[in-house]
Amino acid sequence: MLKNSKKIVEKLIGPVTVGSLLKGFRMTHELSLDDMCKKLKLTKPMLQRIESGKHHLTLKEVVSITKKLDEPKHVYARVWCEEQARLVGLDFDDLIKVI
């Protein structure tokens, strides 16, 4: 069921990315860009680039951010892996099957 829901959401708004998770966190917690930047120790332009998908973080950076936000690192790590696979033209689910 969750997999079907994810596909529906992705059709409506595009694939889930680390940037979209961060933006969702920021909006859910009613944080301004400035507030979020202070929390993460990032510049405003950098956070905007991450949220818009123009800058891709390393897994180490993602895990560091999850600690600062007290968010589940396994969720962000999975999304990061899916995003990295998409960037090189691989289907994450197919990749997992062969690992």
For 16-98, which CATH superfamily applies? Answer: lambda repressor-like DNA-binding domains (1.10.260.40)
Determine the pLDDT at residue 1.
46
Report the alpha-carbon angle 14-19-23, nearest 5. Answer: 95
The DSSP output letter for 33 is H
pLDDT digits (tens, 9 = 90+) for 1-33: 456 666 776 788 788 999 999 999 999 999 999
**pLDDT tens for each residue of 27-74:** 999 999 999 999 999 999 999 999 999 999 999 999 999 999 999 999
Nearest to 31 by CA among 19, 18, 22: 22
Alpha-carbon separation of residue 94 from 86, 89, 91, 99 (angstroms): 12, 11, 5, 9
- pLDDT, tens digit (0-9, with 9 covering 90-100), for 86-96: 999 999 988 88
Q: Considering the entire predicted model, what is its pTM? A: 0.87
- Res 6: pLDDT: 66
